[in-house]
Amino acid sequence: MPDQLIFAMEVFLNGLMAGVLYALVALGFVLIYKASGIFNYAQGVMALFAAMTLVGIMNGQVPFAHLINATFGTHAHKFGWNIPAFLAILMTMAVMVLLAWAVQRFVMRHLVGQEPIILFMATIGLAYFLEGVADLMWGSEIKKLDVGLPQGINLWIDETTFNIFGYGFFIDNLDLVATVIAALLVTALVAFSQYTKQGRAMRAVADDHQAALSVGISLNFIWIMVWSVAGFVALVAGIMWGTKSGVQFSLSLIALKALPVLMLGGFTSIPGAIVGGLIIGVGEKLFEFAIGPLVGGATENWFAYVLALIFLVFRPQGLFGEKIIERV
């Protein structure tokens, strides 16, 4: 088999893996949009906030230490204990539920029935507010995140492909773990959305706030639930991306990688987020591999959007989005 074809296969597989990581971020957007019709600009910052909170709890860091020390002249930075990853994840999830409650109580509750653009603007404000709070709460330094996930080349795949093709493929163990987690997450979320009472209520709220209220669905409860689930997805995305690069403020920029996935997969489809992620991941990696060297490289960021736009031309609602029907 020609070398270039073998290399392309390796790039294809890595594109699939990268796509799963993009999809993990996109899932959070889909959940909130599906439930409330809000494009949550703060989803990337939620991933950052969740990852910072997780590291802070694991390391026994005193929240708001700089503020406390500056105000009271103390020197408190650490509690002096470390918390195991699993327990810290549960505690972080509790913080994300608290955040969901606060968002509902202080922002969304006051905006029921408002235009989508108003709700979108509110999430922009929320993003900047959360970023500031995260900075104040946990500090700006880059933190190592280690929850025990494996990283580095998968030796089995390396050896197996070497025996077949004479060239060992590189697949990152972390990407494999992300794939398994994403598969479980999507299955659980689809089942929840389609087969549970709360899931159906969530979809009813998405269709019409007022109508949902009139049949006795509690908007407050649904929104807290949805923002909590989105917070959980943000935590998972934050763990995966934070393990790769350390937990730092650039983590919030991973949202940029989710936008073309959403455009392609549709804003309302959970499987769409996954399929969209895979198409974007594979498309951008193969384009960079085949065409990148001819045009100076660094094509991935813009090509992802070009690919999404091409799909948009033919399916404005995205591959799996609900068809837009306007009746006069």
Which residue ranges make up the site for other proteins (CB under 8 A)? 7, 10-11, 14, 17-18, 66, 69, 73, 77, 132, 135, 140-146, 151-153, 170, 172, 241, 244-246, 248-254, 257, 285, 288-289, 292, 296-298, 300-301
Q: Are 171 and 13 in contact (CB under 8 A)?
A: yes
Distance CA 317, CA 323 (A): 6
SS3 assignment, position 175: helix
Smallest separation (angstroms) from other proteins to the CB of 269: 23
Smallest separation (angstroms) from other proteins to the CB of 65: 8
- Angstrom distances, CA of residue 122 to CA of 101, 117, 175, 250: 15, 9, 34, 22
Smallest separation (angstroms) from other proteins to the CB of 154: 10
Smallest separation (angstroms) from other proteins to the CB of 59: 13
Burial of 146 from C-beta contacts in 10 A (0-12 / 13-18 / 19+): exposed
Q: 16 vs 100, which CB is nearer to other proteins?
A: 16
Q: 127 vs 229, which CB is nearer to other proteins?
A: 127
Smallest separation (angstroms) from other proteins to the CB of 136: 10
Question: Considering only CA atoms, which of 230, 227, 45, 253 is closest in space to residue 137?
Answer: 45
Q: 13 vs 212, which CB is nearer to other proteins?
A: 13
Fill in the amino acid letter for 58. M
Q: 219 vs 284, which CB is nearer to other proteins?
A: 284
Residue 288, number of CB atoms within 10 A of its CB: 18
Distance CA 72, CA 54 (A): 26
Q: 328: Cβ–Cβ under 8 A, 6 or more apart, which residues?
A: none
Q: Are 66 and 136 in contact (CB under 8 A)?
A: yes
Smallest separation (angstroms) from other proteins to the CB of 243: 9
Smallest separation (angstroms) from other proteins to the CB of 165: 13
Q: 160 vs 245, which CB is nearer to other proteins?
A: 245
Distance CA 129, CA 132 (A): 5
Q: 17 vs 35, which CB is nearer to other proteins?
A: 17
Distance CA 182, CA 325 (A): 31
Q: 263 vs 280, which CB is nearer to other proteins?
A: 280
SS3 assignment, position 261: helix
Q: 10 vs 236, which CB is nearer to other proteins?
A: 10
Distance CA 138, CA 78 (A): 11
Smallest separation (angstroms) from other proteins to the CB of 143: 8
Q: Are 34 and 218 in contact (CB under 8 A)?
A: no
Smallest separation (angstroms) from other proteins to the CB of 262: 17
Q: 43 vs 269, which CB is nearer to other proteins?
A: 43
